Structure 1
Amino acid sequence: MNMMTRRLGLTGSIGAGKSTVARLLRARGFTVLDADEIAREVSRSHEVLAEVASAFGPQYVHEGDLNRPLLSSLVFSQPEQRAALNAIVHPRVRAEMERREREAGTSWVVQDVPLLFEGGLDARMDAIIVVDAPLEARVARVMARDGLSREAVLARDAAQMPAEEKRRRASCVLVNDGDLASLERQLDAALTAMGASS
């Protein structure tokens, strides 16, 4: 990363609309590095697959990829298993994000990280946008998007830092109540306030 590049962290609770804001940022010319997408890529590496099979069992690896449904049911019910998986995947994700950040060569790079605060990455950001929405709206979105039960969505939400704490730590909070025009206005005002440009 050159000395002029600044990091804008983008995060929010499950179903808040972070992906929508990431799309809006891309449309405004920002380089957006998606930690989930990069995690999927690095999780297909031979090293990660071997470590996961060794740590959790061969049933958690299937045809050159992680057995995501089985692994999700394990890690979202057992915090110590989630920590073990994160210890395998997260350092590789961070290294790849840093590599791509150096390649971007832009004044601001957005790091789209669902567990930004939980992973302690907030300390590395110059500014942080938190996307939030009412709990019931978030639950309904994720149930519709991922086909999960209400209980499964609530379990994933409970595994994250409470939305109120994320809001408290944010440089800026965008409220995604389903009105895209309002969301865009909030985003543009936040970018102006932070002096962030692509």
Structure 2
Amino acid sequence: MLGLTGSIGAGKSTAANLLRKHGLTVLDADAAAHALSRTPEVQTEVARQLGPQYVTADGFDRAALAALVFADPAKRDVLNAIVHPRVRALLGQQTAEAAARGEAWVVQDVPLLFEGEGWRQMNATLLIDAPLELRISRVMKRSGLDRETVLARDAAQMPAEQKRRLATVVVDNSGDEAQLEAGLVEALRSLGIGEPGSREDGRS
């Protein structure tokens, strides 16, 4: 397994799409969390522990829940304890299915990879990184959030420099998409990740 992560605004989602373009299976932890948010079990736990106002017919009131958990670390821990173990189990199941198809490497796209213990189960980790000011401007432009909100969300994650120390490979994304793609190709080469479906170049 290859763990893919990056701080807010670093360009992790763009990197994930580029890895798909190069034929790798990329499993999205955010998509898994959204799917799980629609399940009665998760909705019941969130309503019970955080409040029924955060649960909707489509899953969660994401804006209200984000405002809550980014302002209150204890509430964030509660939400993570409900969602993260279930996400890890679902991604583990999907990874096993990909391995059964003969895929040598599977990418797990996990925003908070290093904040938990899941990264220790990876064969390698890939961090997408960019300077703080650039990341802030990207998030403000795409999401309409103000600078203080973006900084608060960044502060809720592990510091970027600590992630760089933990990552197997770091890819800089301070340029354009073509530069990011070139960096990803070099990162895959350094990790020995070859064409999808070949078993000799790695393992899921």
TM-score for the superposition, normalised by structure 1: 0.94
State the Cα deviation string for residues 168-192 of structure 1 (Å, max 9, x = none): 1111111101322221221111111
**DSSP-derived class of the 2:47 partner:** helix
What is residue 24 of structure 1 aligned with on the other side? 18
- Output the amino acid matched with 2:21: A
Hey, what's the Cα distance between the residues in 1 that align with 2:141 and 2:49?
A: 32
What is residue 72 of structure 2 aligned with on the other side? 78
State the Cα deviation string for residues 56-77 of structure 1 (Å, max 9, x = none): 1111112242111111111001
Aligned residue pairs: how many? Answer: 192
- Output the amino acid matched with 1:12: G
Structure 2 stretches lacking a partner, 5+ long: 197-204
What is residue 37 of structure 1 aligned with on the other side? 31
Give 1:63-142 correspondences, 5 Å limit: 63-105=57-99, 106-142=103-139
Q: What is the aligned-residue RMSD (CA, Å)?
A: 1.0
Give 1:149 shift: 1.2
- Output the amino acid matched with 2:43: L
What is residue 145 of structure 2 aligned with on the other side? 148
- Output the amino acid matched with 2:132: L
Structure 1 stretches lacking a partner, 5+ long: 1-6
Hey, what's the Cα distance between the residues in 1 that align with 2:141 and 2:176?
A: 18
**DSSP-derived class of the 2:161 partner:** helix
**DSSP-derived class of the 1:15 partner:** coil
Hey, what's the Cα distance between the residues in 2 that align with 1:114 and 1:162?
A: 13
Give 1:150 shift: 1.0
Give 1:19 shift: 0.6
TM-score for the superposition, normalised by structure 2: 0.91
Hey, what's the Cα distance between the residues in 2 that align with 1:41 and 1:52?
A: 14
1:174 aligns with 2:168: no
**DSSP-derived class of the 1:114 partner:** coil
Alpha-carbon contact 1:174-1:187 (below 8 Å) kept = yes
Hey, what's the Cα distance between the residues in 1 that align with 2:54 and 2:176?
A: 40
**DSSP-derived class of the 1:32 partner:** strand
Alpha-carbon contact 1:13-1:131 (below 8 Å) kept = yes
Alpha-carbon contact 2:140-2:150 (below 8 Å) kept = yes
